[in-house]
C-alpha cells in the first residue's frame, strides 16, 4: 500500500488478511485534518479493491485515538481554517465541499467490505466518535473516554453522525450525549452498547488483533455476506441520507459565528 503523511497502514505478518490503519499525528492527538480526511478516503478506496484484506483495524498512535476535527488554523493550509471562520474570498461551493469532507470519510469507512474494528486506545472526541460509529465492532481501553462537544462549540453535530449514533446508542442516549456534551467512559460505552469489549489499559490493539484472529478463522464468504447484510439492515433502521444537509448546517453555523464575532459574542 502507499505511504501516507498522517496514517500508518500495515498488513499483519502474523494474521494474513488483517490490515491495521493507525491515525498518526500523535503530537496533535491524532486530530483529523483535511489531509487525514483525504488519506483515509484514499485508503478506503484501496481496501475496497483488496480481496486479500478481510479485517481492518482502525486505531490511534500515542495516547489518543483522536481528538476529533482539527480546529487549528493556518494560512498555508486551506483545510485547517479555524472552525468559526468562513473567509469571504472562498468560493461558497468550495466551502460547502470542505464542510462535507467528514461526511465523505464516514461514508468511506462505513462502506468498506471488510469487517472493521475500532481499537480505542485513548480519548475519542467529536469526529472521532463519528468515525468509530461507522465501524462494525469497537474495543476500548479501560482508561479511554468519549465526548461529543459540538454543541458546546456552537455548531451542530454533522458528518451524518446522528443516524449512526442512534443506531448504536438508541435515540434517547444519543440525544442526551450530543445535547449535554458530557463525557462518557469506556465502561459506560460498554453498558450502552457503543463498544463491544473493554480491554486493560494499553491492550486495546492487542484485544482487537485477538478478535480479528477469531474473525479470520471464519469462512470468508459467510463472514463477508453477514457483514453486507448487517450493513443493509443498519441503513434500513436509520438511513444516513436523512442528514443530507449536514454540510449546509455546518457552513451556516460558521457564518453565524462570524457574524456574532463581528458584533461581539453574546456568550460569557
What are the tens digits of pLDDT across the range 176-209?
999 999 999 999 999 999 999 999 999 999 999 9
pLDDT at position 262: 55
What mean pLDDT do residues 163-181 have?
Answer: 97
pLDDT at position 266: 38
pLDDT at position 254: 82
Indicate the average pLDDT of the chain: 91
- CATH 3.40.50.1220 matches 7-204+217-263: no
d(CA 245, CA 108): 18
What mean pLDDT do residues 87-95 have?
Answer: 70
| pLDDT digit string, tens, across residues 10-41 | 999 999 999 999 999 999 999 999 999 999 99
Counting beta carbons within 10 angstroms of the beta carbon of residue 143, is it exposed (0 to 12), middle (13 to 18) or buried (19 or more)?
middle
Q: Where are the domains of the chain?
A: 7-204+217-263
pLDDT at position 42: 98
Comparing 24-38, 78-92, 158-172, 241-255, the range with the smallest average pLDDT is 78-92
* pLDDT confidence tier of residue 263, bands split at 50, 70 and 90: low
More confident residue, 75 or 129: 129
d(CA 94, CA 48): 27
* pLDDT confidence tier of residue 130, bands split at 50, 70 and 90: very high
User: Which of the listed ranges 113-117, 245-249, 262-266 does the model predict with the highest average pLDDT?
Assistant: 113-117
pLDDT at position 77: 43
Amino acid at each position: 500500500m502507499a505511504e501516507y503523511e498522517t496514517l500508518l497502514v500495515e498488513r499483519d505478518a502474523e494474521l494474513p488478511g488483517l490490515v491495521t490503519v493507525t491515525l498518526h499525528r500523535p503530537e496533535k492527538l491524532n486530530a483529523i485534518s483535511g489531509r487525514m480526511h483525504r488519506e483515509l478516503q484514499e485508503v478506503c478506496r484501496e481496501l475496497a479493491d483488496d480481496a486479500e484484506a478481510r479485517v481492518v483495524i482502525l486505531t490511534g498512535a500515542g495516547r489518543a485515538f483522536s481528538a476529533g476535527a482539527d480546529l487549528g488554523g493556518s494560512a498555508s493550509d486551506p483545510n485547517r481554517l479555524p472552525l468559526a471562520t468562513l473567509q469571504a474570498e472562498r468560493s461558497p461551493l468550495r466551502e460547502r465541499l470542505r464542510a462535507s469532507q467528514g461526511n465523505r470519510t464516514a461514508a468511506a469507512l462505513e462502506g468498506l467490505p471488510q469487517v472493521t474494528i475500532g481499537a480505542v486506545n485513548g480519548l475519542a472526541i467529536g469526529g472521532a466518535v463519528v468515525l468509530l460509529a461507522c465501524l462494525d465492532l469497537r474495543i476500548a481501553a479501560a482508561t479511554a473516554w468519549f465526548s461529543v462537544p459540538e454543541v458546546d462549540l456552537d455548531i451542530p453535530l454533522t458528518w451524518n453522525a446522528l443516524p449512526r449514533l442512534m443506531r448504536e446508542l438508541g435515540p434517547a442516549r444519543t440525544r442526551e450525549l450530543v445535547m449535554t456534551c458530557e463525557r462518557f467512559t469506556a465502561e459506560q460505552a460498554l453498558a450502552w452498547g457503543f463498544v463491544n469489549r473493554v480491554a486493560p489499559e494499553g491492550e486495546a490493539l492487542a484485544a482487537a488483533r485477538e478478535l480479528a484472529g477469531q474473525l479470520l478463522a471464519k469462512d470468508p464468504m459467510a463472514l463477508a455476506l453477514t457483514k453486507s447484510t448487517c450493513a443493509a439492515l443498519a441503513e434500513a433502521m436509520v438511513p444516513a441520507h436523512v442528514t443530507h444537509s449536514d454540510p449546509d448546517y455546518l457552513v451556516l453555523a460558521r457564518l453565524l459565528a462570524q457574524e456574532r464575532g463581528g458584533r461581539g459574542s453574546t456568550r460569557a
